[in-house]
Structure 1
């Protein structure tokens, strides 16, 4: 499948997270330990906010992350307080730039790991449910981008978690009408620059891996001289497909059917329950 991470905290150089960690996202593109596939070399995407109310910047490429020299230069130059990065392992759809995550619509970005089972069988049914005013913004052919625009249709800009619950419920109901009993597997992240919203959920209750960082304030006390931690600030927060470093007490697995909402120092957890149409 894919691997992704999302960061919120003090502005940091992107290379600190993307390259310097022992099991960084770049390392995971070649040596994923917890993913459905070991290698995630079908493209890379990075989206970041310099200011919360701005449209995010984005870089996407079909190059494997480990072989993208432009990505290394960009990550060395850019600092940001919030960003999403994604490495892709393609399933139903081709390797092309428009299929690389994160997807973007105005201030919102979206990244996904997982799949809609038998997506070609339900693709048309899902596409026609997208708000006509947003439909022409679709650029690629992935199930992930369709999920994003369904969530936008169901109110992502106003009520992020309920909109994602309605999206998941609609996908499940649509697929089951086609005889697909366990259609949805997802870890997803959406952001508008002011908040990160992440979800771990699957129809079968066996979702892809997802972790979040433990208290950075606590980690500062445990590892006061570790530069990977000190620069991020006490309120920094990371959500990752796989732990980036092997520091004890650094990571907590996100439970099944859970949504996380990060707004500055405030982090809320709630049960994720899909809502049918």
Structure 2
């Protein structure tokens, strides 16, 4: 389920990143090339971006498919940003949360997305509800697995954890409670990106002077795209990418060649 992307680099129109590439996130909403679960991402979409001088990102989210939203086409043509997180959604379960269930989720400087599914949701994660403050549970944007995973991550961030540690600890906690879950998480604060590869595809492209892209799958055929091995934490800036193996609770899967 879902495809997502985060980017840091020189200021660019949203459309140049999300619409114009031949295999862009826009096209991945109906024709993903490497999606292992589901085939069409038409259950909502969202994009979050940062404006110069404002650490709090803006968001545009809708419940329907990205290709049916003419307002997004206008927005993507004129809005420019040096940092973006966007996603197209294939819902795991039916729900009534509409655009509230579409990533990116947000709080303060952070944007967050989850590509995957929690096995046995919601019963499997019921034991973890006690680790999140009641006010945070009651203020969740949606009643799905991704929103609860975000609540777990956000609780760690507010407790002082750095972004990569918050993602890694959340993935391991959820994977232990719900074995077989797919937990590709993506987080940015506008200056750095943290992501996990856990059960689905993750790639990155880093080019000097042109910034860094982290995505579920490549949006073009540039030979410099690199696949992130399964069970890995990625930490990236505009100029560097660091990969760190995550403690695995399940057999490691080698990246496909």
Q: Same-fold call, TM > 0.5?
A: yes
Q: With structure 2 as the length reference, what TM-score do the two structures score?
A: 0.89
Secondary structure of 1:34 counterpart:
coil
Secondary structure of 1:190 counterpart:
strand
Return closer, same or farther for 1:273/1:154 CA change in 2, 3 Å cut-off. farther
The question of whether the paired residues in 1 share the 8 Å contact of 2:12 and 2:81 is answered with yes
Between the aligned partners of 2:233 and 2:53, the Cα distance in structure 1 is 21
Q: With structure 1 as the length reference, what TM-score do the two structures score?
A: 0.83
The question of whether the paired residues in 1 share the 8 Å contact of 2:153 and 2:170 is answered with yes
2:254 matched to which residue of 1? none
Between the aligned partners of 1:47 and 1:67, the Cα distance in structure 2 is 19
CA root-mean-square deviation: 1.9
1:270 matched to which residue of 2? 244
The question of whether the paired residues in 2 share the 8 Å contact of 1:65 and 1:71 is answered with yes
1:153 matched to which residue of 2? 155
Q: Could you tell me how far 1:53 is from its partner in structure 2?
A: 5.4
- Correspondence for 2:232 among 258, 262, 270: 258
1:230 matched to which residue of 2? none
State how 1:98-117 maps to structure 2 within 5 Å: 98-117=100-119
1:216 matched to which residue of 2? 207
Return closer, same or farther for 1:9/1:24 CA change in 2, 3 Å cut-off. same
Between the aligned partners of 1:169 and 1:186, the Cα distance in structure 2 is 9
Secondary structure of 1:38 counterpart:
coil
Q: Deviations over 1:54-99 (max 9, x none)?
A: 2110000012011111111111111001101100000124261110
1:51 matched to which residue of 2? 52
Secondary structure of 1:30 counterpart:
coil
Q: Could you tell me how far 1:154 is from its partner in structure 2?
A: 2.5
Match status 1:164 vs 2:174: no
Q: Pick which of 27-36 and 259-268 moved more.
A: 259-268
The question of whether the paired residues in 2 share the 8 Å contact of 1:212 and 1:238 is answered with yes
Query: Based on CA coordinates, which of the two structures has the bigger radius of gyration?
Result: 1
Q: Could you tell me how far 1:126 is from its partner in structure 2?
A: 3.0
Return closer, same or farther for 1:10/1:76 CA change in 2, 3 Å cut-off. same
1:130 matched to which residue of 2? 132
The question of whether the paired residues in 2 share the 8 Å contact of 1:44 and 1:86 is answered with yes
Secondary structure of 2:194 counterpart:
strand
State how 1:183-222 maps to structure 2 within 5 Å: 183-201=180-198, 207-213=199-205, 215-217=206-208
Q: Could you tell me how far 1:128 is from its partner in structure 2?
A: 3.2
Q: Deviations over 1:129-183 (max 9, x none)?
A: 21235333312011111111101222365322222222122223333xxxxxx23
Q: How many pairs align?
A: 246
Structure 1, gaps ≥5 residues long: 176-181, 202-206, 218-233
Structure 2, gaps ≥5 residues long: 250-257
Secondary structure of 2:40 counterpart:
coil
The question of whether the paired residues in 2 share the 8 Å contact of 1:101 and 1:112 is answered with yes
